[in-house]
Structure 1
Amino acid sequence: MKLILLGTSRAWSGANSFFAWTLPQDDQITLINTLRAKNVRVIRIFLATIDSGQAGSRALAANDIERNRVGSPYTDSDMLVRVDQFIKNVDIYGGGHIKLIIALHDRYSLGCYAYKADGYVSKYGIPSASACSPPNDASKFYSNEQAKSDFVARLKYLLDHINPHFGQRWGSLNRIIFSFQTENESQGHMSIHNARWMCDINTQIRSSVNNGILLSTGGDIDYGLSLRLENFQCSALDLISLHDYSMNGDYSRGKFQEAIQLAQQYRKRVYIEEFGGKGDTQMAQALNIIGATAHQLGLPWLVWQVVPNARSGDFEFFTNDRTAWAAFEHQAYWAQMSPSPFQWPEIWS
């Protein structure tokens, strides 16, 4: 007999699948149905240019709305049509059990990967890297007031976009959307950091996000940087998300405890948003160490990343990766059975 933990103060599991909205419809449906069957509650996606066959999958190429130029008129509406359809698919096949985290931009679109560089790179003279190795310096974007104004306009445009399948703005579509984040890993891999940028941007879009939808940080490249004090102190932010690919359980436990303490002090909530391993065995190891450590402390988590029909031996996995998938099933079950130090009514109510 399985004991079921009830109430909103319990953890949950999720999966990154950042380009899921570009997958063929049958792969989208397979992904959603499979995650729902394993008690997964959240899927995280990004809005960015996506390459054809991304990560060896069957992804269909897509352009960001500012791929070629910054600002209105936003010329590539195909992205919005496809994300709208993915949101509808999550509603239908998730059966009311799965919600989305949507990153409205990706730091790595700012010249770190040439194939996804967007209009901000050319407009603001951001240096580019062919494959983000070494990562480029995008500080011109984060230090320029006009760039900030352009970026806020982008975010408000997206949040005010009406999904025709629901007749609702994205910014109020709490039926399917758990949280928005202005950007994935803002200012990641940079030596110059604008401490005010994250809070300034979220303060300006706060009124565009309502109906119980939350704002989260989008993480950083490791636990330490994900725990920047200025984000906990920002009244516009609700959630602090942690990213790290360490396999060290003791180190992770210490950072999780630090995160919980800060969140309780500043009236935030915290969760692990990115972790994982390369290949079947390492992915299973990450899930069994980091996932287990997270739910021992009652922290929700999202693994990187679950993608049907992707290449093997990298950071993507699915049911054919038997060792990783078994670990994922096990930890996803125990996540929902773990009492959390935070209430999660958006997930469980």
Structure 2
Amino acid sequence: MNSEGESDYIKGRGAQKNVKNRFFAESYEVTDDFLNYCHAEGDDADPNKTHYLEVFPKTIVNKVESPDVGMGWSMNAYQGCEHGCIYCYARNSHEYWGYSAGLDFERKILVKKNAPELLEEKLQSKNWKCATIVMSGNTDCYQPAEKKFGITRKCLEVFYKYRHPVGIITKNALIARDIDIVSKLAADNLIGVSVSITSLSEKTRMLVEPRTATIKKRLDTVKLLSQNGVPVNVMIAPVIPGINSHEVLPLAKAAADAGAVSIAHTIVRLNGQIAEIFTDWIHKAMPDRAEKVLNHIKHVHGGTLNDSRWGQRMRGEGEFAEQVHAQMRLARKKFFEGKTFPKLNQDLYEQYRDGQLSLF
């Protein structure tokens, strides 16, 4: 047991602790007295349960300001993500809601049930100019909460009603549930999907991304989407030196064999509180190579774990980063020659802006 009453490794979670919220002047810790009391009473100091909390945002579509993210607009039906990916850059955003970027990010999921209505308001606005809106710009729209609440499906129905282009980023096979509406969007070239696959090793996947779909299910999802006319990009993101950096070419081949038309990658960056969360995690999950991996990450980011430089933060620098870029160039030439991810259709929206086909 550690000082917070957690076992040395919490199975089924990425983060192994809660870190202090940067915006709070005060913090708390669990003392040994409390832990001893719980033990004596037969209580669990930390039941490790997921809680769903409804929130009521006034808007749902966000403009993306970062110049090195390949999207202009995004929306997120959920904040926090039970997938528990240890490297997730979105962890820091949970602090704005008053929670920790650590375990809170995985266990306190904020649910925006009014997302479909807010989206429809946006698409009905006379000031809105059609541009692809990406679901999951921050957290996965097909995370486990979607099975319970179905908000993503309702949003896809809104996109189809207005014939508006939508992008999806996910590492969950749950999108297969919605293949009917996804296929209808694809028939008009209104949807593109990026499936994140960071390893072909289930052992690695369970440690780094504990509550995500298995690798087999993700590859099957790529195949299903492709067979239904949906263009699929596979994201090898992030590449983590010493953990999955040796898998770039095998991953690219598996993606191409499953029907993906393109691949992309990012180099891991541990911004904000993620550096502390990742460092704590890797010393517990992979103690034999923890320092080696951390030093490699520092090497690709100018000697620091936290790299916030636009244009550089996702690409990395130095010899290792260039080796990864070279592998990606080779993978595209070897497995994706002549394939392209299409530009989505923006021409139909004006005819359907009022929610039905305009005849005039």
TM-score greater than 0.5 by the shorter chain: no
Which structure has more relative contact order (CA 8 Å, sep 6+)? It is 1
For this structure pair, what is the TM-score category when the shorter chain's length is used for normalisation? 0.3 to 0.5
| Bigger CA radius of gyration | 2
Output the TM-score relative to the length of structure 1: 0.38
TM-score normalised according to structure 2 size? 0.37
